[in-house]
Amino acid sequence: MKNKEVIFKDWGLIDYKEAWDKQEALFADTVALKTRIRNRKIMSEGDEYDEDTPTPNYLIFCEHPHVYTLGKSGKPEHLLLDEKGLKEKNATYYAINRGGDITYHGPGQIVGYPILDLDNFFTDIHLYLRTLEEAVILTMAQYGLKGDRYPGYTGVWLEPDGENARKICALGVRCSRWITMHGLAFNVNTDLDYFKNIVPCGIDDKAVTSMQQELGKKLDIEDVKKNLKHHISVLFNMEMI
């Protein structure tokens, strides 16, 4: 049975390592449950097994204090700060187990962590990424911004075909047994100066932007969260709880 229910949590402003540990725990518990269910399913008919046992799904929103994270395919030299520089910027750094290169998280940025069993939705990681992108694109449209995709890259961009292509949302995910973790980083009121200290996502010839930068005003991030949550829910046909 496909479980479309998704438990929504907003962790607010939370240390990156604390959020990562909490994510890992939810992810590991879901993988372990799915493994137990599958193992029971292949046992004899005499074993007690409920075909309707569902795996849970979560959607987590949060913001982080200043932090740089490097994905599995990233290059450490894309961080342009040494340990002293990180301390001066009041920032931390982690090499982590998501896909992608280096990125920045900080206050004013919506970080979304869907921990979904894609067997409950669709087992297509490329469609999964495109669907997250579409949720951001639809959210931006509500504020008069035209988000788009850049062929060959993940994430959401403005004017990807022009000389002033700029990225507003980065994506990086991990998936095991069709269960996801990590996710998206959507620049709303983000301090863009922090991106000057990295080669964002390994791309050294494109700019980074935010909704505040594009619109010339600070936005109500809770309002943006509400709209983003709605579009994710609709596109994935979720029952948010």
Domain extent listing, the chain = 5-240
One-character DSSP codes across 15-60:
-HHHHHHHHHHHHHHHHHHHHHHHHHHTS-TTS---TTPPPP-EEE
Residue 169 annotated among the catalytic residues of the structure: no
Give the mean pLDDT of the chain: 92
Phi, psi of 175 (to 5 degrees): -145, 130
- Between CA 156 and CA 161, with CA 160 as vertex, the angle to 5 degrees is 155
Which amino acid appears at position 35 of this protein?
T
Could you tell me the end-to-end alpha-carbon distance of the chain, in angstroms, rounded to an integer?
18
Query: Which of 128, 129, 126, 133 lies closest to 118 in space, CA to CA?
Result: 128
Question: Quick check: 14 pLDDT over 90?
Answer: yes
Question: Quick check: 190 pLDDT over 90?
Answer: yes
Tell how strand 207-208 and strand 166-176 pair up: parallel
Give CA–CA dist 221/45, Å, rounded. 52
Task: State residue 44's pLDDT score.
Answer: 45
Give CA–CA dist 137/135, Å, rounded. 5
Give CA–CA dist 169/198, Å, rounded. 16
Task: State residue 73's pLDDT score.
Answer: 82
130-180: pLDDT as tens digits? 999 999 999 999 999 999 999 888 999 999 998 999 999 999 999 999 999
Which amino acid appears at position 21 of this protein?
D
| Encoded tokens for 57 | 């799904």
Task: State residue 25's pLDDT score.
Answer: 97
Q: How many residues comprise the chain? A: 241
Q: Which of 62, 169, 175, 201 is catalytic?
A: 201
| Residue position matching structure tokens 């939810």 | 26
pLDDT band at 67 (very low <50, low <70, confident <90, very high): very high
Could you please state the CATH topology (level 3) that the domain comprising 5-240 is classified under: BirA Bifunctional Protein; domain 2 (3.30.930)
Tell me the average pLDDT across 48-77: 86
Give CA–CA dist 61/43, Å, rounded. 39
Question: Quick check: 15 pLDDT over 90?
Answer: yes
Task: State residue 47's pLDDT score.
Answer: 54
191-221: pLDDT as tens digits? 999 999 998 666 666 799 999 999 999 999 9
